[in-house]
Structure 1
Amino acid sequence: MPSITPRPINVLLIGGCGHWAATENHVPAILSLQRSGFPVRVSAICDLRDPYDENLLRHMPELMDLLRWDRPQWIQPHPGESSEDLERRLDAAHAHSAFDVVIVACDPVAHYPYLHWATRRGIHVLCDKPILAVADAAWDVHAAATLDTQFDTLLKAHRDRPGHLFALPMRRRANDAFVESSRLITEVYEDHGQPLTMANFTVTGGHFRLPEEYAFGNAHGYTHGVGALAFSSYHYIDLMAWYLGLAQGSVTALRITSHYVRRVGDYLGTGQNRALEALLRPLSPEQAATVGLDRRTALAEMDFAFTLELLDAAARVHGYLTYTFTSNSYSHRQVGLQEADRAGHLPFREKGRMSQFVVDIHQGPLQHVRVTKNDVVGDQYRIRLEHRRNPMIDPSGGRYADTVYENAHIASTVTPQSMTAEFLRAAAGCPPDELVTSRMTHLVDQTLTQRIYAAMYRLIAARHEANAEHRTAFTPSILIDIR
């Protein structure tokens, strides 16, 4: 059988100056394909920052290489630009370069116009998580409701284009440790019909910020009135939806309840940031700025807790999931604020951010699975997977099993870079790599994740509305159908 010659692929990279796109994932994947002779070119980079800025390129050698080889056009979004004006400029660039793929890796609050534009034109889309974020969704109930509306619009536009590719490189769905945990859950469900009955997701982000740093923008900023739920939290919401789908049983609906929300202004008002701040201030080369956060930043969600009751068609409760997120826990931070941060010249520096979680999963009396991590972000990650089965179904007599995945992200069989490369190969009509393809996530696969995520924002906003109206005894819930 003759080999298939891939057709040339032309890429529009949205948010190409961010650390994730330029250093960790998309740009390195594209460079690797180019070096292997694959015909892919980035003909345009759309970013608020100039990709040719030498101050950025000092920290981004991969982006520098891409710029030398492809010489992409820089498209700079204009502050306050209407969707119509942005689309006209994108259409002009598309008429000149004929994009085959749009990679969206900018601030998630800006995702929707690019996703909507590309999908309606049939341009294949690779989008980083979360698919959508809406400004002020943490406190404005109307903004929060827009999340469902926008997703439904995207889903319809995608389905109206047969053959259109719309994928997400969801690292945890592809990671060896989580794939193995999913296999364990699936095996017990298929062999014994035992559904998921309980799961606890406890995440502590541990990213200490100096007060003035909450006023910084970019992909992990709070200046758009949304916070921690729209960032790394999406991974864990996606795990909830994934695990539940593997062993759903007779569950047809979720009752999602908000029990606790703490916002940026609440946190700073407690003064809990001062102990580490006192140690860091002398390390800053400039004097502390006078902090006057605007209202939308102060109202962005920082910590929260939810329960998800698992209901059948008769509204009987079959179990529950819990999700607790704390973004200011232990931090490994040892550096102060740098002027390069304030000027936007330093695209990435962890400043002591941690990646800590415990995912505790139960399938009734038959199986317990636990996945844990406790690492400084940027170090070699270690993920531990533990599980135990009832001796009646386990030939080993229910022996405790413990597996540690060293350097878990980079050493995984499938990585975000390999998913980016496989997506570009698919867009070029190449035969699929079955292993990578099996771990890819597509827009349709995200429907339940997106419903849970949007419901959580509606609940967070409802709590603010209740507080504003002095409704003190208020525990909001939302029922979503998952059939």
Structure 2
Amino acid sequence: MSSPLSPVRVLLVGGCGHWAASENHVPAILAAQRNGLAVRVVAICDRRDPYDPALLAHMPHLRTLMTQDRPAWIRPEPHEPRSELERRLQHAHREHHFDAIIVACDPVAHHPYLAWATSQGIHVLCDKPIICAEDAAWNPDRAAEIRTNFDALLRAHLNQPGHLFAVPLRRRANDAFIHAGNLLQDLYDTHKQPVTMGHISISGGHYRLPEEYALGDAHGYTHGVGALSFSSYHYLDEMARYLLLAPGQITGLRLTLQYVRRVADHLATGYNETLDHLLRPLSEARLPTEPLPDRVLLAEQDFGFTAELLDPRQRSLGVLTYQYASNTYCQRTVGAQTHDARNAVPFREKGRMSQYVFELHQGSLQHLRLTKNDAVGEPYSIRLEQRRHPLIGGTGHHEIVYEDAHASSRINPQDITTAFLTQVAGGTPAPEVTDKTAFLDGQVLTHRLYSAMYELIATHHHSAQRCPTVIVDLP
């Protein structure tokens, strides 16, 4: 007979953000409570007041949680010394005894919470990217901190037997991306054919009025980092996962920055003046139009990398290209909003698109293509195309379309949050969920790529070298 599950007391960091409060963590916690799991949010750490009626008017799930759980509010102060934040967290821990921490705040603020919680043996669920650093887009020292802090966090985690550290990555659990990985691995297991070439092109498709770059929160530019710390991490993770599924003789990557365009470069083009003039008459509010700080102007917006696939003697076995562009088609039709000007809710990129192409080749034997062309926030489809050589069982061009691809996926991020809480409580969640959950020790290659990209972007700002390069080892 199984033991009863233990109660779980949660510290929710960044609980007033759109992702945590509306889309994932809070709805998952409420559902777990309805299903009998004794989980309670005992404290929310956020600079916004989680009891603010103006905030709760936009976030019904959070309003329900605040009414039921009545969590304490911990407010991090601007520029608060880390030692003081840790002292206040320790005081709250003595009072409330946290079993788990869910970190969903701005990525540049993740590290102090993660390091403190791990040192206390508190189980961690952390949104991507795990570690970021302010001004990493232009300051090489800050960019280098990303890998240093990740490596230290990984060591601390591994030194805590039984410590859980999970990362809810939606594409890791998405049926289309899983199927693509299975096709890669199946061919590799049968014919030992590694990945030899690929192209990943992401069109983020968001448009901001120039003064909106001064708005912060998780998708803001106010901390000297930009688009690489947004959804881009998801696609880097899939690139790393696919490489590790079919590595062959690949032991490292020669990563080269081919180009980067920063906020200042984008604004200097004037290419979006037409949309600017169309949107301003539709604005509900006016935002301050002071000059943007240098750290905002230097944040990366568009970028492109090549990753040569290297054997132990650093001979080239193939190449992957990774390209991300924010300044692409956007169907935004609203101007500045009142709740943005009041900072009532986190800034949301209106009309943001989610368009991408994944091309993957395993030599002459298999070609896979994943494509999507939709607007964020609407039901959308992912198309997976496969060609496999006829002499090894291929049947020509095969295509699957995953309609409403996120909502219809068998596992979603709320399932991952629920599974994490079940594990903290001492239960055994369904293996089909935990098999699709990313854990800290499985993020090594993804984070090496992510941190190396920032090191190259920062180097580009200071160096006369047009295309800086660094070697990234496979774990």
TM bracket, shorter-chain basis: over 0.9
Q: Secondary structure at the match of 1:190?
A: helix
- Among 377, 398, 422, the alignment partner of 2:419 is 422
Q: Map Cα deviations across residues 29-69 of structure 1 (whole Å, 9 max, x no partner).
A: 00001011110000000001000111111111100110111
Counterpart contact for 1:228–1:301, Cα < 8 Å: yes
Q: Secondary structure at the match of 1:450?
A: helix
Distance 2:440 2:105 in 1: 18
Q: Secondary structure at the match of 1:238?
A: helix
1:61 aligns to what? 60
Count of aligned pairs: 475
2:29 aligns to what? 30
Distance 1:46 1:209 in 2: 28
Distance 1:123 1:23 in 2: 25
Query: Is the counterpart of residue 411 in structure 1 residue 403 in structure 2?
Result: no
Query: Is the counterpart of residue 49 in structure 1 residue 48 in structure 2?
Result: yes
2:461 aligns to what? 464
Query: Is the counterpart of residue 226 in structure 1 residue 225 in structure 2?
Result: yes
1:434 aligns to what? 431
1:301 aligns to what? 300
Q: CA deviation at 1:288?
A: 6.0
Counterpart contact for 2:17–2:345, Cα < 8 Å: no
Structure 1 residue ranges (4+ consecutive) displaced by more than 4 angstroms after TM superposition? none
- Among 399, 419, 441, the alignment partner of 2:396 is 399
After TM superposition, the structure 1 = structure 2 runs for residues 99-248 of structure 1, keeping only pairs within 5 Å, are: 99-248=98-247
Counterpart contact for 1:8–1:428, Cα < 8 Å: yes
1:478 aligns to what? 470
Q: Map Cα deviations across residues 350-376 of structure 1 (whole Å, 9 max, x no partner).
A: 410001110111000010011111111
Counterpart contact for 2:219–2:347, Cα < 8 Å: no
Q: Map Cα deviations across residues 245-281 of structure 1 (whole Å, 9 max, x no partner).
A: 0000001111000010000011001111211111101
Q: CA deviation at 1:3?
A: 3.4
**Matching residue's letter, 2:2:** S
Counterpart contact for 2:309–2:316, Cα < 8 Å: yes
After TM superposition, the structure 1 = structure 2 runs for residues 70-81 of structure 1, keeping only pairs within 5 Å, are: 70-81=69-80
**Matching residue's letter, 1:313:** P
Distance 1:285 1:220 in 2: 21
Distance 2:343 2:105 in 1: 15
Q: Secondary structure at the match of 2:396?
A: coil
**Matching residue's letter, 2:468:** P
Query: Is the counterpart of residue 320 in structure 1 residue 319 in structure 2?
Result: yes
**Matching residue's letter, 1:209:** R
Q: Secondary structure at the match of 2:2?
A: coil
Distance 1:141 1:300 in 2: 13
Q: CA deviation at 1:349?
A: 4.0
Q: Map Cα deviations across residues 80-122 of structure 1 (whole Å, 9 max, x no partner).
A: 1011000010001000110000000000000000000000000
Q: CA deviation at 1:76?
A: 0.3
**Matching residue's letter, 2:440:** L
Counterpart contact for 1:56–1:347, Cα < 8 Å: no
2:449 aligns to what? 452
Distance 2:73 2:304 in 1: 41
**Larger deviation, residues 340-349 vs 143-152:** 340-349
Distance 1:276 1:24 in 2: 29
Normalized against structure 2, the TM-score is what?
0.99
Counterpart contact for 1:7–1:39, Cα < 8 Å: yes
Q: CA deviation at 1:203?
A: 0.2
Normalized against structure 1, the TM-score is what?
0.97
Query: Is the counterpart of residue 259 in structure 1 residue 247 in structure 2?
Result: no
Counterpart contact for 1:185–1:246, Cα < 8 Å: yes
**Matching residue's letter, 2:404:** N
After TM superposition, the structure 1 = structure 2 runs for residues 365-380 of structure 1, keeping only pairs within 5 Å, are: 365-380=364-379
Distance 2:4 2:372 in 1: 42
Q: CA deviation at 1:155?
A: 0.5
**Matching residue's letter, 1:222:** Y
Distance 1:87 1:312 in 2: 44
Distance 2:8 2:155 in 1: 25
**Matching residue's letter, 2:221:** Y
**Matching residue's letter, 1:121:** Q
Counterpart contact for 1:211–1:291, Cα < 8 Å: no
**Matching residue's letter, 2:456:** L
Distance 1:81 1:72 in 2: 22
Q: CA deviation at 1:347?
A: 3.2
Counterpart contact for 2:287–2:341, Cα < 8 Å: no
**Matching residue's letter, 1:68:** T
2:90 aligns to what? 91
Distance 1:482 1:288 in 2: 46
Q: Secondary structure at the match of 1:392?
A: helix
1:339 aligns to what? 338
2:81 aligns to what? 82
Q: CA deviation at 1:286?
A: 3.5
Counterpart contact for 2:201–2:322, Cα < 8 Å: yes
**Larger deviation, residues 108-117 vs 344-353:** 344-353
**Matching residue's letter, 1:217:** G
**Matching residue's letter, 2:130:** I
Q: CA deviation at 1:348?
A: 5.3
- Alignment RMSD (CA, Å): 1.0
Q: Secondary structure at the match of 1:77?
A: coil
Q: CA deviation at 1:11?
A: 0.2
Q: CA deviation at 1:168?
A: 0.2
**Matching residue's letter, 2:235:** Y
Counterpart contact for 1:203–1:356, Cα < 8 Å: yes
**Larger deviation, residues 271-280 vs 98-107:** 271-280
Counterpart contact for 1:350–1:378, Cα < 8 Å: no
Q: Secondary structure at the match of 1:240?
A: helix
Distance 2:407 2:113 in 1: 29
Counterpart contact for 2:217–2:347, Cα < 8 Å: no
Q: Secondary structure at the match of 1:129?
A: coil
Q: Map Cα deviations across residues 399-420 of structure 1 (whole Å, 9 max, x no partner).
A: 2111111111111111000000
Counterpart contact for 1:215–1:222, Cα < 8 Å: yes
